[in-house]
Amino acid sequence: MLKRRKSGFVLAEALISLLLISTAITFEYEQVRNFKQQDARLKIEYQHVSAQRATAIKSWHDYVEK
């Protein structure tokens, strides 16, 4: 009977460990996914701002030359 309890305890411990590891992996996956999405958005925004900056500088030079 003691061996059966020990086996049950080991099984429960293994399931809890598996649950904790799965939760940690899921959390890390979400963090990486969110980081990649934010990185992509920031790169697109940076490209737009750079284009606007170039346009503004060109407009300023055109204005100054007049």
What pTM does this model have? Answer: 0.64
Cα angle 54, 60, 65; round to 5: 130
pLDDT value, residue 66: 74
Query: Tens-of-pLDDT digits for all 66 residues of the chain?
Result: 556 677 888 899 999 999 999 999 999 999 999 999 999 999 999 999 999 999 999 999 989 987
| HSE of 64, CA atoms in CB hemisphere, 13 A | 6
